[in-house]
């Protein structure tokens, strides 16, 4: 989609969090009311006819648009969080990162087999966190799963989308 207004307002911070990485800062999109509306409108158009019943927001920037879109779609919101943040019984999925292992968790009662789920996060780069979240959602055996990101980074040799080839429908609002 690559909306011109969104691209113009996306901040890029070179060498953050380490040298050689160009960090895409979506907070500049969230603080602009017009950008928020554009993103929400585009997401709504993508998913309005899909029967979405739950939106899984990935910690933490994924929570923002997950909640806004859930309101518009009349769906529930489920949080995919880092370990120790959810108070009730959880299911978890660990995944390898460049320098170790990380884990995402969801409440055990978050999703059921009658749900149509959209997993949402702000950014698709390597895809590790998103893949772990997808595996968690699969654990619940919902009717259908979709996946969406505001930004997909491909200009730095990243191929996160490849992790989902043939597994789930992935959409993004911007490809950089």
Supply angle C-alpha 168, 171, 174, rounded to 5. 150
pTM for the structure as a whole: 0.95
pLDDT per position as a tens digit, 28-85: 999 999 999 999 999 999 999 999 999 999 999 999 999 999 999 999 999 999 999 9
Can you say whether the dihedral through the CA atoms of 119, 123, 82, 164 is positive or negative?
Answer: positive
pLDDT at 169: 96
pLDDT at 67: 98
Do 46 and 13 touch, CB atoms closer than 8 A? Answer: no
pLDDT at 21: 85
Supply angle C-alpha 50, 169, 12, rounded to 5. 110
The residues carrying an active-site annotation are 61, 98
pLDDT per position as a tens digit, 107-117: 999 999 999 99
Percent of the chain with pLDDT over 90: 86
CATH number for region 50-171: 3.40.50.2020
Do 12 and 164 touch, CB atoms closer than 8 A? Answer: no
- The residue extents of the domains of the chain are 50-171
Do 62 and 134 touch, CB atoms closer than 8 A? Answer: no
């Amino acid at each position: 989609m690559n909306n011109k207004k969104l691209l113009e307002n996306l901040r890029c911070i070179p060498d953050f969090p380490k040298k050689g990485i160009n960090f895409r800062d979506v907070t500049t999109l969230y603080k602009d009311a017009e950008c928020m509306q554009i993103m929400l409108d585009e997401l709504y158009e993508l998913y309005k006819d899909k029967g979405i019943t739950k939106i899984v927001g990935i910690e933490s920037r994924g929570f923002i648009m997950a909640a806004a879109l859930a309101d518009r779609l009349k769906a529930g919101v489920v949080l995919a969080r880092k370990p120790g943040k959810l108070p009730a019984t959880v299911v978890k999925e660990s995944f390898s990162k460049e320098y170790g292992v990380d884990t995402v968790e969801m409440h055990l009662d978050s999703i059921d087999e009658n749900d149509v789920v959209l997993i949402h996060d702000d950014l698709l780069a390597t895809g590790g966190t998103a893949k772990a979240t997808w595996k968690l959602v699969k654990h619940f055996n919902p009717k259908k799963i979709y996946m969406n990101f505001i930004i997909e980074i491909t200009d730095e040799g990243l191929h996160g989308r490849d992790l989902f080839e043939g597994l789930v429908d992935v959409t993004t609002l911007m490809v950089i």
